[in-house]
């Protein structure tokens, strides 16, 4: 799995650099390029493996993987802004609004979001019907019904931690983190016109476990390893699985979810080995 992940990282890094290089040169393009450097590329990996399981080759899947990472980068740039999480460190580097300005960060995020949708129009992906289906699913995942809704709910939860329960936290994280992960994991099935449900089930459990791991790392992680500030959730009074269940309870919850994610891959047999390994990696990582 690690070898495949490194290959995907390199392919996506090149694809994003090429896409940004097509933009008019200047501060905006520089900020876009800066925002897309680094990261675990788990979402891109999900796209590429979902495609492979459904008979789609890497070159057809690559623009989709790059689109997912461009969109993810936009979300991080905006999430780091003073009006949101007010972070000064991302992927071990100063956040975009500190490196340039708040205005440039907002515009770079806007441009990365637009770039993500542009990448999904690439004819190499498949016929027009497949691309329209992808774009529709992507918009649903990242807009007011998905990721952006989750971000809004997350902000509201900062001032209502005493009222948060597990159901509320799951609703937040399934939208904020899980929706884009679900799209990534089902993209290959959408392109191929195949049944996405096993991968959707996998992704829903994986996405929630991923967020729980992030919550745990915010308490136990090392800033140098994670590349971002730690301890911010507690300082902000944010509702998390750790605040609700404690560290041991959160770890147990994540492990149970990963078991369910692995079980969902049964229809793919040994071909889904990389996705099974990824599931374990998600909760065992230190970054």
Output the pLDDT for position 285. 84
Cα–Cα dist 104/142, whole Å: 21
Cα–Cα dist 2/7, whole Å: 9
Residue 231 has pLDDT above 80, yes or no: no
The string of pLDDT tens digits covering residues 33-75 is: 999 999 999 999 999 999 999 999 999 999 999 999 999 999 9
Alpha-carbon distances, residue 85 vs 155, 172, 235, 287 (angstroms): 9, 15, 11, 19
Residue 12's nearest CA partner among 48, 76, 47, 62 is 62
Count of CB atoms within 10 A of residue 253's CB?
19
Q: Average per-residue pLDDT in the chain?
A: 93
Bridge partners of residue 94, in order along the sequence? 89
Please give the average per-residue pLDDT across 127-132, as a whole number.
96
User: By mean pLDDT, which of 7-16, 84-93, 225-234, 247-256 is the weakest?
Assistant: 225-234
Percent share of the chain, pLDDT over 70: 94
> Domain residues for 133?
2-284
Residue 287 has pLDDT above 90, yes or no: no
The string of pLDDT tens digits covering residues 178-213 is: 999 999 999 999 999 999 999 999 999 999 999 999
Residue 235 has pLDDT above 90, yes or no: no
Overall domain count for the chain: 1
Q: How many residues does the chain have?
A: 287
Residue 19's nearest CA partner among 134, 96, 111 is 111
Residue 20 has pLDDT above 70, yes or no: yes
Cα–Cα dist 220/131, whole Å: 41
Output the pLDDT for position 49. 98
Most confident of 160-164, 233-237, 268-272: 268-272
CATH code of 189's domain:
1.10.600.10
Within 8 A by CB and 6+ apart from 254, the residues are 209, 212, 213, 216, 241, 283
The string of pLDDT tens digits covering residues 137-173 is: 999 999 999 999 999 988 887 765 455 688 888 999 9
Within 8 A by CB and 6+ apart from 90, the residues are 76, 80, 96, 227, 228
3-state secondary structure 204-262: HHHHHHHHHHHHHHHHHCCHHHHCCCCCHHHHHCCCCHHHHHHHHHHHHHHHHHHHHHH
The backbone torsions φ and ψ at residue 90, rounded to the nearest 5 degrees and listed phi first, read -145, 125
Output the pLDDT for position 174. 94
Residue 277 has pLDDT above 60, yes or no: yes
Output the pLDDT for position 144. 96
Output the pLDDT for position 243. 84
């Amino acid at each position: 799995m690690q070898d495949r992940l490194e290959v995907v990282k390199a392919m996506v890094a090149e694809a994003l650099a090429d896409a940004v290089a097509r933009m008019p040169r200047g501060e905006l393009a520089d900020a876009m390029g800066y925002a897309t450097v680094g990261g675990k590329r788990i979402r891109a990996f999900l796209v590429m493996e979902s495609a492979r399981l459904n008979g789609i080759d890497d070159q057809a899947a690559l623009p989709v993987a790059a689109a997912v990472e461009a969109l993810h980068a936009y979300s991080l740039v905006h999430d780091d802004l003073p009006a949101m999480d007010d972070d000064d460190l991302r992927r071990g580097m100063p956040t975009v609004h500190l490196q340039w300005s708040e205005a440039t960060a907002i515009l770079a995020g806007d441009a990365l979001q637009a770039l993500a949708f542009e990448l999904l129009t690439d004819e190499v992906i498949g016929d027009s019907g497949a691309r329209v289906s992808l774009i529709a699913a992507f918009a649903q995942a990242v807009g007011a019904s998905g990721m952006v809704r989750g971000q809004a709910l997350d902000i509201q939860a900062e001032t209502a931690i005493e009222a948060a329960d597990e159901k509320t936290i799951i609703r937040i994280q399934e939208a904020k983190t899980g929706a884009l992960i679900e799209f990534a994991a089902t993209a290959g099935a959408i392109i191929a016109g195949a049944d996405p449900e096993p991968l959707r089930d996998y992704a829903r459990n994986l996405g929630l476990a991923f967020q729980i791991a992030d919550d745990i790392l915010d308490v136990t992680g090392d800033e140098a390893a994670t590349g971002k500030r730690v301890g911010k959730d507690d300082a902000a009074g944010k509702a998390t699985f750790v605040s609700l269940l404690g560290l041991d309870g959160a770890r147990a919850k994540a492990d149970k979810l990963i078991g369910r994610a692995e079980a969902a891959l049964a229809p793919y047999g040994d071909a889904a080995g990389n996705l099974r390994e990824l599931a374990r990696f998600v909760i065992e990582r230190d970054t």
